[in-house]
């Protein structure tokens, strides 16, 4: 990937002397932004542009060329790429549109392009993009004028949309934040977001913060793997949520684990910060230019009592603590207040104090306090205080760096002063206490994530998989899903606790099985084509003797006769009736097209889909991941013991979730797994129903 960003020579193909020509604009951007290497132009009409000859073919250029940028009609691209390959060019940016984004029948054109690229070992970005920007060497390939000033910063951008990439460049410049590299990847036919992210995370020293705009994910698991190991913050605006595929109706898990929920869960699991707007993206970029927030204890200082209250409300929402200030700080303030109307607490209202040198002392006292981990500082000033305030804010910057604590500086100033500070003040600031406090919360949560996930060893359970393979192969050969009995057999191979059970195809077999198991028993229809048993009366409970079992079997057989497929036999599973005095939960697996197997956990029973209180994790995972997913559901208190109820065995649930994750990794031909309900007890847990969808 480095070859894309640091070429010594670039050839732009598709250039003419016409002022409306977009290839001409690429050349102009390269020159005006001071590209440190050579720039060559190629176009069929020839001529001269900006003092440079326009060659009619790359064959006419005798100099070495490291990178080609092509902007010509789509149907011309394959042959031009072939010419580049013959000329030894191994890195290409294809900015032309008119491929599969225009019409599905253009797929053949894309295949031709990929075949040529493979033949000549070419890597290319695009098509349908604006290419690359690198402020370190002046590389600038967009086909529209780039007005943003190039001053190398530490923020790099990967965007699926060229328009959003330009928008981010403008937004960063507006906020006074310098960027380093920007890549628009368009259709990402060859180079995708994972390769670029890997480069920015692991190889590019100039990049310290990464912003991404994505509409789709090419390899979600790889993206998560890279992000999870990154020490650089990654902020992603993932759109396209309205285009999520329809959830499968085959199981509760398929319905509950929608595409966008999986994306959010995967991002959270990898430490990726997901945003929903450009504005929030910019707010978070700014906070990561500061030292991390390493604890919950927050100080709020404001010249306006109202803004202090707003900040305190936001801090409470994010579960920050507002510890009282030590007497030393209070004594300092008391010496300088005039009317005695200042309430000397946290949040601190400085409305009665006008000496900004005292503000400096207060900031120094607060940031040097070991109990305080960050500061929200709300400051407003008029023309008369402009110079003093600028000096004060410079001192705040120094104090933040000295004590390695973040200060969310929230300013109430006019537009002219705001614009001046964005151009000249090298310290991020916010326009409201809500924005600043939210940003500090993200800084703190990111710090917590990295502390909790310093090491990652994926869970592995060694299991004899031969019996499971035989069950799944038999079901596949018969073009069906595993029966309830077969699902239980698979779970037992992975040490997953299930009730004692027997299979029965006749009433007499059911009665005999019940005698062996012991009463009371439950009788369930066990026909693979009947997925939702309870919906059609396929479950009968509290069966206390053999006569009742025989009668129940005959009732089920008659009731479900019309639900059987042609040639499908009737069968039941006889189960020991479990103690239901526990908490019902649902545990499941869904195979996602982007992320692979996904683990689901939530409150279970018949209301699972109604409540939708679930958490998700992408595999592979470790024990820390599973503990976190149990704790994050809203109904966790029902497991922890609420209103005097007995706490449930969380360790047992962790073990079962990990075991099921191993099933999914060992047998990815299983599309969905639904264990609902699993009863969680004070000691142990028990899966009462299991459904596997192949």
Decide if 457 is inside a domain. no
- Do 572 and 551 share a structural domain? yes
- Domain of residue 632 covers 583-693
Instruction: List the alpha helices (DSSP H) in 322-481.
Output: 327-334, 356-368, 386-403, 415-424, 433-452, 466-477
The total number of residues shown for the chain amounts to: 694
Which of these three, 522, 545, 576, is where a domain ends?
576
What CA–CA distance (Å, rounded) separates 667 from 641? 35
- Do 302 and 168 share a structural domain? no
Decide if 383 is inside a domain. yes
| Model confidence pLDDT, tens digit, residues 485-507 | 999 999 999 999 999 999 999 99
Q: What is the pTM of this model?
A: 0.88
Decide if 155 is inside a domain. yes
- The per-residue DSSP string of 47-80 comes to -EETTEEEESSGGG--S--SEEEE-S-GGGHHHH
Decide if 270 is inside a domain. no
Q: What is the gyration radius of the CA atoms in the chain, in angstroms?
A: 32
Decide if 206 is inside a domain. yes
State residue 252's pLDDT score: 44
CATH of the domain at 384: 3.40.50.261
CATH of the domain at 11: 3.40.50.720
- Do 486 and 430 share a structural domain? no
Decide if 265 is inside a domain. no
- Do 491 and 394 share a structural domain? no
State residue 258's pLDDT score: 57
State residue 441's pLDDT score: 96
Judged against a pLDDT cut of 90, whether residue 625 lies above it is answered with yes
- Do 483 and 445 share a structural domain? no
- Do 430 and 556 share a structural domain? no
- Do 226 and 131 share a structural domain? yes
Decide if 600 is inside a domain. yes
* Residue entry with tokens 């603590």: 321
**Which whole number is the average pLDDT over 144-173?**
90
- Do 523 and 426 share a structural domain? no
Give me the number of domains the chain comprises: 4
Cβ atoms within 10 Å, residue 494: 18
What CA–CA distance (Å, rounded) separates 373 from 315? 13
What CA–CA distance (Å, rounded) separates 585 from 595? 24
What CA–CA distance (Å, rounded) separates 302 from 378? 4
- Do 477 and 427 share a structural domain? no
State residue 635's pLDDT score: 85
State residue 247's pLDDT score: 40
- Do 421 and 345 share a structural domain? yes
- Do 494 and 642 share a structural domain? no
CATH of the domain at 675: 3.30.470.20
Decide if 209 is inside a domain. yes
Which of these three, 539, 555, 576, is where a domain ends?
576
Which of these three, 452, 481, 499, is where a domain ends?
452
| Model confidence pLDDT, tens digit, residues 77-110 | 999 999 999 999 999 999 998 888 777 888 888 8
| Model confidence pLDDT, tens digit, residues 174-188 | 888 999 999 999 989
Q: Would you give the distance in Å from CA 192 to the centre of its chain? A: 16
State residue 608's pLDDT score: 59
What CA–CA distance (Å, rounded) separates 266 from 337? 51
What are the residues whose beta carbons fall under 8 Å from the beta carbon of 522, sequence distance 6 or more? 539, 540, 541, 543, 574, 575, 576, 577
State residue 27's pLDDT score: 93
- Do 593 and 555 share a structural domain? no
Q: Identify the band that residue 245 occupies on the pLDDT scale cut at 50, 70 and 90.
A: very low
| Model confidence pLDDT, tens digit, residues 290-331 | 999 999 999 999 888 889 899 999 999 999 999 988 777 677
Judged against a pLDDT cut of 50, whether residue 254 lies above it is answered with no
């Amino acid at each position: 990937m480095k070859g894309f960003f640091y070429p010594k020579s670039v050839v732009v193909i598709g250039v003419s002397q016409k002022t409306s020509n977009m290839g001409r604009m690429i050349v102009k951007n390269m020159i005006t932004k001071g590209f440190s290497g050579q720039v060559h132009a190629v176009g069929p009409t020839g001529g001269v542009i900006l003092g440079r000859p326009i060659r009619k073919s790359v064959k006419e250029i005798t100099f070495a060329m490291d990178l080609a940028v092509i902007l010509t009609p789509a149907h011309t691209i394959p042959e031009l790429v072939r010419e580049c390959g013959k000329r030894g060019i191994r890195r290409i940016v294809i900015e032309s549109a008119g491929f599969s984004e225009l019409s599905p029948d253009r797929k053949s054109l894309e295949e031709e392009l990929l075949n040529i690229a493979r033949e000549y070992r070419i890597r290319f970005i695009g098509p349908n993009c604006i290419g690359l920007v690198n402020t370190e060497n002046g590389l600038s390939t967009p086909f529209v004028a780039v007005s943003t000033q190039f001053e190398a910063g530490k923020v790099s951008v990967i965007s699926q949309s060229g328009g959003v990439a330009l928008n981010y460049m403008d937004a960063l410049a507006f906020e006074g934040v310098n960027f380093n590299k920007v890549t628009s990847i368009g259709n990402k036919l060859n180079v995708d977001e994972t390769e670029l992210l890997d480069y920015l995370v692991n190889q590019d020293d100039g990049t310290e913060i990464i912003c991404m705009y994505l509409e789709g994910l090419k390899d979600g698991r790889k993206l998560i793997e890279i992000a999870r190991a990154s020490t650089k913050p990654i902020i992603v605006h993932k759109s396209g949520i309205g285009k999520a595929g329809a959830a499968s109706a085959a199981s509760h898990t398929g319905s509950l684990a929608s595409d966008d929920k999986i994306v959010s869960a995967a991002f959270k699991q990898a430490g990726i910060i997901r945003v929903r707007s450009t504005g929030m993206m910019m707010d978070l970029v700014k906070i990561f230019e500061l030292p991390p927030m390493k604890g919950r204890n927050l100080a709020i200082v404001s010249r306006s009592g109202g803004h202090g209250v707003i900040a305190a409300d936001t801090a409470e929402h994010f579960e920050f603590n507002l510890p009282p200030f030590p007497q030393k700080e209070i004594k300092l303030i008391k010496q300088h207040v005039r009317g005695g109307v200042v309430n000397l607490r946290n949040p601190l209202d400085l409305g009665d104090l006008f000496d900004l040198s005292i503000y400096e002392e207060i900031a120094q006292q607060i940031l040097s306090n070991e109990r305080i981990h960050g500061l929200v500082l709300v400051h407003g000033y008029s023309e008369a205080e402009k110079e003093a305030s600028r000096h004060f804010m410079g001192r705040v910057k120094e104090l933040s760096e000295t004590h390695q604590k973040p200060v969310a500086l929230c300013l109430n100033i006019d537009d002219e002063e705001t614009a001046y500070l964005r151009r000249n003040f090298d310290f991020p600031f916010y326009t409201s206490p809500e924005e600043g406090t939210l940003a500090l919360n993200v800084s703190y949560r990111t710090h917590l994530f990295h502390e909790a996930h310093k090491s990652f060893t994926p869970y592995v359970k060694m299991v004899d998989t031969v019996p499971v393979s035989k069950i799944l192969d038999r079901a596949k050969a018969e073009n069906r899903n595993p029966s309830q009995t077969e699902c239980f057999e698979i779970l037992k191979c992975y040490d997953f606790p299930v009730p004692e059970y027997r299979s029965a195809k006749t009433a007499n077999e059911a009665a005999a099985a019940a005698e062996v198991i012991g009463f009371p028993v439950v009788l369930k229809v066990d026909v693979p084509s009947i997925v939702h048993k309870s919906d059609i009366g396929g479950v009968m409970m509290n069966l206390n003797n053999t006569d009742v079992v025989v009668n129940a079997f005959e009732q089920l057989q008659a009731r479900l006769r019309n639900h059987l497929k042609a040639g499908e036999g009737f069968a039941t599973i006889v189960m020991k009736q479990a103690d239901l005095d526990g908490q019902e939960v649902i545990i499941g697996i869904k195979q996602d097209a982007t992320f692979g197997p996904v683990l689901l956990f939530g409150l279970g029973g018949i209301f699972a889909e109604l409540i939708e209180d679930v958490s998700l994790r992408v595999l592979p995972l470790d024990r820390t991941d599973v503990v976190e997913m149990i704790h994050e559901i809203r109904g966790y208190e029902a497991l922890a013991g609420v209103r005097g109820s007995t706490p449930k065995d969380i360790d047992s649930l962790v073990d079962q979730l990990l075991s099921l994750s191993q099933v999914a990794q060992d047998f990815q031909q299983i599309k969905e797994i639904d264990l609902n309900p699993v009863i969680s007890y004070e000691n142990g847990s028990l899966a009462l129903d299991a459904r596997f969808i192949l």
